[in-house]
Amino acid sequence: MSRPTPRWNQRAFVALAAALSGLALPATGLADHVARDSQQSGDPVRAWAIGHTALGVTFIVFSVWHILLNRRALVRYLRRRLSGRVPSLEFAAALTLVGILVVLAVAHGMRE
């Protein structure tokens, strides 16, 4: 008796692609930063920059695709959560953390 062929799970594929590209972004960004600050020039520096940019574009594409695939659940959640109430503690914490990280990154970049 043969097993049925598993069906392609588009949601799982998109979520995994977004997660993997998103997890690789900090590593390539750090490598790009280190390569640029070192005395190296040429191919290694360009390779890290290109890899980081490619992962960034990939992450954006798959994140938007993920949002589109899950828009009904997202809209339902937002309507329930934001209907006249204060946003959740998790939302406030995530917004604060992301805001602080962006400010620190921009301040660091402007310092150079």
| Domain ranges across the chain | 1-69
pLDDT above 70 for 112: no
Q: What was the pLDDT predicted at 91?
A: 81
The answer to whether the CB of 87 falls within 8 A of the CB of 81 is yes
Lowest-confidence range among 33-37, 38-42, 76-80, 99-103?
38-42
Could you give the dihedral angle defined by the CA atoms of residues 11, 16, 22 and 25, in that order, rounded to the nearest 10 degrees?
Answer: -140
Q: How far is CA 26 from the centre of its chain?
A: 9
The model's pLDDT over 63-109, given as tens digits with 9 standing for 90+, comes to 999 999 999 998 888 887 777 667 778 888 999 999 999 999 888 77
pLDDT above 80 for 111: no
Distance CA 32, CA 53 (A): 10
